[in-house]
Structure 1
Amino acid sequence: MLTGEEKFVRSGHVRLWTERFGRPGDPTVLLVMGTSTPGIGWPDELVEALVTSGRQVIRFDHRDTGRSDSVEFTTHPYALADLAADTAAVLDSHGVPAAHVVGTSLGAAIGQWLAVHQPARVRTLTAMASSPMGNNPGPAWARALAGQPAATDELPPPTARFLHHVMASATTPRTTVRQRMDADVQTWRVLNGDVLPFDEPAARRFVEDCYTRAHDVTAAANHDLAGRRWADDRRASLSRITAATLVLHGSEDPLFPPAHGAALAAQIPAARLEIVPGMGHHPFFSSGLTERIADSIIRHTT
């Protein structure tokens, strides 16, 4: 059975939950989850595969998720740079000067930020299901929701099915915990894409675990607010990244269609783009993808 060392660490006024696996002398893989998702979004099977390959692994709960502190966003607003500072604080508290940073979605944007602004912390970068951190998707979303065609100079908006889900979700009843969990499972279903089977029981167990762990489940919505805060640090050129970079992207990603992954790889010197057939935005509720992702990370971090 996989067991890790749990530890709470400090990042400024925020306390973060972390979990560390493997031997301290082995190279460190730091797993950085996406928007509104705690560290257990990285499944035990992936962690175990990485540890077995001779790596130590750290995963953690972002602020406003899981067992980490919740923040009052109106009085203590934060942005991508603050989430990157949290990530660096996790490494500091575990005595790790540099790690193989593996991020998905928002976590991949955090990885980009660190690779640009704190390159000594990033041995290699794996960016999964992401977009260039300087890309503001708001205008593309607005045009798509208004039924207007995309502009020629912008990356494509989410799929029509995903946008329909967002609109429908806004009117979905969430007066009970069960209704909120059902809505979350449906979101994971849509993010899975339409090609590979969706493991609904696994997704439901994960959602239930998230609700059990969280101090305040509603606080995770602050990540969306943080994502809308833009500053010059997000617009820094990705050509400054010197870490060997792997861009993993699903062919069926409904949130960031494959053009986003291609654009990210094109902006990072010598980055390698790997399109995973059938994969949506979150790969861990489709059979076989966890092993595929683990193999890619192991090859890239060797």
Structure 2
Amino acid sequence: MTERLVRVGDVDLCVETFGSPSDPTVLLIHGACASMLWWPREFCTALAVRGRHVVRYDSRDTGRSTHYPPGRPPYSLRDLADDAVGLLDALAIPDAHLVGRSMGGGVAMTAALDQPGSVATLTLVSTTTGADDLPPMTPEFLSRPTADDPVDDIVLLMRAYAGRSPFFDAAAIRRLAAADVARTACLDAALTNHFAMRMDGPRAGTGPADIAVPTLVVHGDVDPVHPLPHGQALAEAIPGATLLVLTDTGHDLPPQRVGLVVDALVAHTSPDTV
């Protein structure tokens, strides 16, 4: 369980793996501005104990991976999807179960549509179709407080992400935020570039209705960023998708829901599902 840099095309991605490479691989793709640390180690370890080879990594401009000048990322969402599949190639993994969270769900869907042979199943956590008729972010999230200190600001942001969930643990989040800030190569790039990149979609112009791999949609019922109708619409748009609603859960993955999600992922990625 040690981090290492892996060359993927013309970028270096910082990667950490859990479990045996002989087991089915679960590739974890996080959302905007978040390094792999925001996939909790307990979550990764629990999956590995259940017979999954877990790979988490820093996307471009997060953690220790390649970064670019703040506000000037030369890549797009599609490039991040190519990174995910390219990382599998670099690790000699023919295909994987992709788990994308928030913006990472968009990355995972794009990978599944552009390079379906590399994707065994999809799991989309706190993700949206992006349709215009879905509910906006909650007023409480939009008016969230901010702080000048980066660790304090991340704690406030994660508090806002939790919405009305009772599970928010400020002390634990502060420790994680401090660790993330300490290992991030360029914090300004990490906080801005995913919002400044081009948000292009799959090359073929396809969408959720064209996803042809088994898909699990996981969504919190008090998500303030993408309220629950976003997850419901996504599950309805993808043929055969299953929806798992996490009660008292916001846009995050609190420890109190890790076991439930691990159980669902193990079932979803079993040979009977694929």
SS at match of 1:219: helix
Q: Is the CA contact 2:162–2:223 (under 8 Å) kept in the aligned structure 1?
A: yes
**Deviation digits for residues 267-286 of structure 1 (CA, Å, limit 9, x no counterpart):** 110001111111100113xx
Q: TM-score, length-normalised on structure 2?
A: 0.93
Query: Structure 1's 278 and 205: CA in aligned 2 closer, same or farther, altered over 3 A?
Result: same
SS at match of 2:143: helix
Q: Is the CA contact 1:241–1:269 (under 8 Å) kept in the aligned structure 2?
A: yes
Cα deviation for residue 107 of structure 1 reads 1.1
Q: Where in structure 2 are there 5+ consecutive unaligned residues?
A: none
1:118 equivalent in alignment to 2:126: no
Structure 2 equivalent of residue 262 of structure 1: 232
**Deviation digits for residues 68-119 of structure 1 (CA, Å, limit 9, x no counterpart):** 1111366652111011111112111110111011111011111111111111
Q: Is the CA contact 1:11–1:85 (under 8 Å) kept in the aligned structure 2?
A: no
1:28 equivalent in alignment to 2:25: yes
Mapped to 1, the partners of 2:57 and 2:265 lie a distance apart of 18
Q: Is the CA contact 1:113–1:234 (under 8 Å) kept in the aligned structure 2?
A: no
Superposed structure 1 runs of 4+ greater than 6 Å apart: none
* Identity between Structure 1 and Structure 2 (%): 38
Cα RMSD between the aligned structures? 1.7
Q: Is the CA contact 2:64–2:185 (under 8 Å) kept in the aligned structure 1?
A: yes
Structure 2 equivalent of residue 141 of structure 1: none
Q: TM-score, length-normalised on structure 1?
A: 0.84
Write the letter of the residue equivalent to 1:50: L
Structure 2 equivalent of residue 49 of structure 1: 46
Cα deviation for residue 159 of structure 1 reads 0.6
**Deviation digits for residues 161-209 of structure 1 (CA, Å, limit 9, x no counterpart):** 00111xx53xx4x2xxxx2211110110010111323111110011001
Mapped to 1, the partners of 2:204 and 2:176 lie a distance apart of 31
SS at match of 1:17: strand
Q: Is the CA contact 2:71–2:189 (under 8 Å) kept in the aligned structure 1?
A: no
**TM alignment of 1:176-255, pairs within 5 A:** 179-220=149-190, 221-226=192-197, 229-230=199-200, 233=203, 236-255=206-225
Q: Where in structure 1 are there 5+ consecutive unaligned residues?
A: 137-152
**TM alignment of 1:53-132, pairs within 5 A:** 53-72=50-69, 76-132=73-129
Mapped to 2, the partners of 1:295 and 1:280 lie a distance apart of 19
The number of aligned residues is 269
